Amino acid sequence: MSEQTIALVTGANKGIGYEIAVGLGALGWAVGVGARDGARREAAVEKLRAAGVDSFGVPLDVTDDASVAGAATLVEERAGRLDVLVNNAGVTGGGQQMPSMIDLDIVRTAVETNVLGTIRVTNALLPLLRRSPSPRIVNMSSGVGSLTRQSASTDESTVGPISAAYSPSKTFLNAVTVQYARELRGTNILINAGCPGYCATDLNNHSGWRTPEQGAAIAIRLATLPDDGPTGGFFEDAGVIPW
């Protein structure tokens, strides 16, 4: 097995996920570019290689069991193990998200990708992560999933719009992250949730005030935690985010 650190980033073809791949690649790691669209995936792999990143494409739709199983097989055949998994793929669910008027399909879409997708990918890759000397799992969450922040302020510039799908899906993701940490306590696997801050990407029609590169920093920090680092936490650049 290679001594090179092997990472897989979901939704790495653009936005914050792409910049996470750039950042992990700069550490000399081999980075699997998980992406569902073949052309977008290959374009990202080419761009990363041109930037000096040892990257490889991993066909991956986080909502599809067969696709996720295929991704795990590909990583196993290529590297024999996985050191770092970054569950970055995410969607807002789209549309109007006032609770009183919500289309349940919008909630389903957000939960299917942001929560169930993360569980599906994590469980498929856990056997490979268990072969690593220092496995790390990073779940890209959002500060809008903080119930403390949602309850404390109505200022949309800090807590986002009223959202019955996207924000609760990230709260759900945080809760799942804590449960994984409970199950994995006593192993060498550290799992944490991170918030990139409000970054200009396709997700928000580029309305964010941070760059995707700035947003990637927290994921890189959580991906490179020392063995005595935290697990089951929720972090942004400035530190711990309240649940």
Ligand X SMILES: NC(=O)c1ccc[n+]([C@@H]2O[C@H](COP(=O)([O-])OP(=O)(O)OC[C@H]3O[C@@H](n4cnc5c(N)ncnc54)[C@H](OP(=O)(O)O)[C@@H]3O)[C@@H](O)[C@H]2O)c1
Instruction: Name the DSSP letter for residue 27.
Output: T
Strand blocks (E) in the chain: 6-10, 30-35, 54-59, 84-87, 136-140, 190-194, 234-236, 239-240
Pairing relation of β-strands 234-236 and 239-240? antiparallel
Binding test (CB under 6 A) with ligand X, winner from 30, 82, 111, 199: 199
Which of 18, 166, 180, 198 is catalytic? The answer is: 166
Instruction: Check residue 82 for interaction with ligand X (CB under 6 A).
Output: no
Q: Is there a catalytic annotation at residue 166?
A: yes
Residues 45-74 that bind ligand X (CB under 6 A): 60-63
Binding test (CB under 6 A) with ligand X, winner from 14, 78, 108, 130: 14
Binding test (CB under 6 A) with ligand X, winner from 79, 91, 189, 218: 91
Reference 178, options 164, 159, 191; nearest CA is: 191
Q: What's the half-sphere exposure (Cβ side, CA atoms, 13 Å) at 204?
A: 17
- Mask of contacts with ligand X, 18-47, x by CB under 6 A? -----------------xxx--x-------
Q: Which residue numbers are catalytic?
A: 166
Q: Which residues bind ligand X (CB under 6 A)?
A: 10-11, 13-17, 35-37, 40, 60-63, 88-91, 113, 117, 140, 142, 195-196, 198-199, 201-204, 208, 212
